[in-house]
Amino acid sequence: MIEKMKKYTFLVFYKEYEQFLLQLRELGVVHVNCKVEGVLDNEQLEKKIALADKLQKAIAKVEKYAGEGVSEKAGNEVKKTEMTDVEIEELLDKLSSLEAEEQQIVERMTQLKREIDRMRPWGEFSAEKIEKLKQEGWKLRYFTCSEKQYDKEWETLYNTFVVGKEGSQLYFVAVNKTVEAYDLDAQEVELNKQDVRMLSAELDGLSGLLAAKRASIEAWAIANLSKLQVARKHVLSQIDWQKITLSTTALVEDKLCLLEGFCPVENENNLNKMLDEKHIYYSVAEPKEEDNAPVKLKNNWFTKMFECLTGMYGWPVYGEFDPTPILGPFFLLFFALCMGDAGYGILLILFGILTTKKKINIEMFEGLGPLITTLGIGTLVIGFFLGTFFGIDLYTASWVPESLKSVMIKGKVAGYDIQMVMALCIGVFHICLAMTIKAICYTKRFGFKQNISTWGWLFLILGALVTIVLGLTEVFSPEVTKWVLIAVGCISGLGIYIFNTPGRNPLINIGAGLWDTYNMATGILGDVLSYIRLYALGLAGGMLGAAFNSLGVMVLGDNPTWQWLFFVLILLIGHLLNLCMSALGAFVHPLRLSFVEYFKNSGYEGKGHLYEPFRNE
């Protein structure tokens, strides 16, 4: 449900304007639509936004160092301190410096690891002894080649010695006083002055240094996380202040300041009381379509869980309808049908509970624990009625009581699987509901005169469906059914082809109606058929689960001993894989049915913006 708003216009003397904004922010109930022409390309504001972004990234990094418990504690202490712009820059510079120092150590360790791998075949040696040989006139050169390329004659001609071997690659050194040129089919390499032992010792030292550096960063993070959070809130508050200032209209040679905003009806009395006490001139009006009022959703605990799905598509425009109360129950039903397995429902319930209690911490599921639990409960219930439990067909299982089997959805309708027919019926109902909502809401927003065609299509589809059902159930005789269908067609035809746009040339209306007919005929049929996925995905998941069960039984055999281990592994890995794939499909496809088939036919636009009052953080 969308909460009612009031549009406020404030007129304040320029000397009192800053104090007025402070009072308005303290009250924290007024949403101001920022003017694009004022906010856009403002250099100072852009710098503040960039700084807030840097702080957000810094906080994310520091939270990883500080740990979850410290992050929550810091969040509770945010309001205890304040930060200046200079202190904010010093904090960010210090974090960058610490990260740069850590990165230098990591890069040096990476170089050492590569050098150790390169020097390992040459073994351990003394750099001092090699230097002594050079002083005595000996020249040492180092080569590597494959074992097949190595020629034994090199040992006589060039005094070579093989010092290492790695796979089929040989590493050798030529020691001479007189030979200057070497005719060798080998690659010459340059040795490090340190051998593997010395390089490894340096790497160990750097590992300790890195651990110490990370410990110091962690200590700094714990000490400064709350400061960074305060800094970001301070910057965001400055951004809001600048946006409000830039959205203010100056009047009467800049002596008066005009500001427009929106306040929920439930907070109207508090705002009026403050304005009257401060002797601020203001006017109150009902928001119009062109005012672009913000929306504040007000739903119960169940519907509120699904608001995140509405936000993925887009928030409703003020004066539009909130789709969440309908999207929620249908998404739950669609998800459960696509999963279609009671066993997987139990696993989802457990996963949702553990996520809610933060026993499982996965960033992408943060805050979604209650929703996952609810989807799991729906899957458990629907999975039972579909008769599937971890890929087992409960309807054919001998150990399931007949009383339970009697309530399971099994059988055929006109030669088709009842579950497929049910999916199509759900689709027809869902689309008809969407068209009904569109007709009602568009009439409310734009008037009946502008929506005669919408009502005509709704009357045609619903009237024809109801009449056909009554005819098939023999409530209407064939003759009555025929005449009712003719009446429905004639009445709806007038709205679709003749009066779809009152005041326009009837021939143009007929042409527009014919084009609309083509779009509806092709679109509605495709939309309804899309709901078969509710049947297909559930069937595919059940069949794949049953396949893993059969594979496990085959491995188990008739006289199992150690085969139990492979049996359990196949079931665990197989059903975990099937659960993940089914859950992904059960999320994406119902979302598509909601965003495409339902929203398209309900006329939902999703171009609104949420109510975000100007207030202290």
- Name the residue with higher pLDDT: 209 or 319: 209
pLDDT at 65: 81
Please give the torsion angle defined by the CA atoms of residues 232, 237, 238 and 243, in that order, rounded to the nearest 10 degrees: 130
**Cβ atoms < 10 Å from Cβ of 428:** 15
The answer to which of 452-461, 545-554, 595-604 has the lowest mean pLDDT is 452-461
pLDDT band at 41 (very low <50, low <70, confident <90, very high): low
- What mean pLDDT do residues 440-445 have? 84
pLDDT > 90: percent of the chain:
32
pLDDT at 82: 63
The answer to which of 70-84, 234-248, 265-279, 481-495 has the lowest mean pLDDT is 70-84
Let me know if 135 is exposed, middle or buried by CB neighbors in 10 A (0-12, 13-18, 19+): exposed
* Contacts with 298 (C-beta within 8 Å, 6 or more apart), sequence order: 1, 2, 3
Instruction: For 96-128, give one letter per residue: b (16+ CB within 10 A) or e.
Output: eebeeebeebeeebeebeebbeebebbeebeee
Task: Give the span between the Cα atoms of 56 and 34, in whole angstroms.
Answer: 23
- Indicate if the pLDDT at residue 405 is higher than 80: yes
pLDDT at 519: 74
Q: What is the pLDDT of residues 550-598, one digit of tens each?
A: 998 888 877 777 778 888 899 999 999 999 999 999 999 999 999 989 9
pLDDT band at 264 (very low <50, low <70, confident <90, very high): very high
Q: What is the pLDDT of residues 354-371, one digit of tens each?
A: 999 888 888 788 889 999
pLDDT at 39: 59
For the ranges 374-388, 431-445, 453-467, the one whose mean pLDDT is highest: 374-388
pLDDT band at 78 (very low <50, low <70, confident <90, very high): very low
- Indicate if the pLDDT at residue 37 is higher than 60: no
pLDDT > 70: percent of the chain:
96
Question: What mean pLDDT is reported for the chain?
Answer: 86
pLDDT at 36: 62
Q: What is the pLDDT of residues 172-185, one digit of tens each?
A: 999 988 777 888 88
Residue 92 contacts residue 58 (beta carbons within 8 Å): yes
Q: What is the pLDDT of residues 203-232, one digit of tens each?
A: 999 999 999 998 998 898 888 888 888 888
- Indicate if the pLDDT at residue 119 is higher than 60: yes
Residue 1 contacts residue 322 (beta carbons within 8 Å): yes
Task: Give the span between the Cα atoms of 358 and 367, in whole angstroms.
Answer: 10
Residue 454 contacts residue 446 (beta carbons within 8 Å): no
- Indicate if the pLDDT at residue 373 is higher than 80: yes
- Indicate if the pLDDT at residue 81 is higher than 80: no
pLDDT at 80: 45
Q: What is the pLDDT of residues 229-259, one digit of tens each?
A: 888 888 888 888 888 888 888 887 778 888 8
CA-wise closest residue to 74 among 270, 186, 229, 213 = 229
Q: How far is CA 552 from the centre of its chain?
A: 36
- Name the residue with higher pLDDT: 47 or 613: 613
Q: What is the pLDDT of residues 285-311, one digit of tens each?
A: 999 888 889 999 989 999 999 999 999
- Indicate if the pLDDT at residue 76 is higher than 50: no
CA-wise closest residue to 102 among 214, 223, 225, 224 = 214
pLDDT at 104: 94
Longest dimension (CA), the chain: 121
Task: Give the span between the Cα atoms of 507 and 10, in whole angstroms.
Answer: 50
